[in-house]
Amino acid sequence: MKAISPLRLRQLHKAMVPIMLVPLLVTLISGIGFQAAIVAGNGSEFIWLMELHRGKFGRLNLEMIYPFLNGLGLLTLVITGGFMWWRSPSRPSKTH
């Protein structure tokens, strides 16, 4: 099996970051907001946050695929970022 070049990994990572930024932020903020509402005892008033968290954007309902696309995108970023980190040259530690 042919190894993926470091340049291709960086290109894939660089292409995925802007695509995944908004969905991950929406998932993060809506999840934290809904959990805060539950803790405050107001969860029933903020069901819309859970719907947003799961991919229901008004008339556009992506609940069946949004979590999978979000997960696959994040997994791709973690794998490509991990490989780039692993392949990066080690930096000598500075002692003060």
Which pTM value belongs to this model? Answer: 0.75
Q: How far apart, in whole angstroms, are the C-alpha atoms of residue 43 and residue 27?
A: 17
Q: Mind listing the pLDDT tens digit for each residue in 16-33?
A: 999 999 999 999 999 999
**Which amino acid appears at position 73 of this protein?**
G
Non-local CB neighbours of 33 within 8 Å, separated by 6+ positions: 46, 49
Q: What local confidence, expressed as pLDDT, does residue 68 receive?
A: 94
List the structure tokens of 92.
């000598």
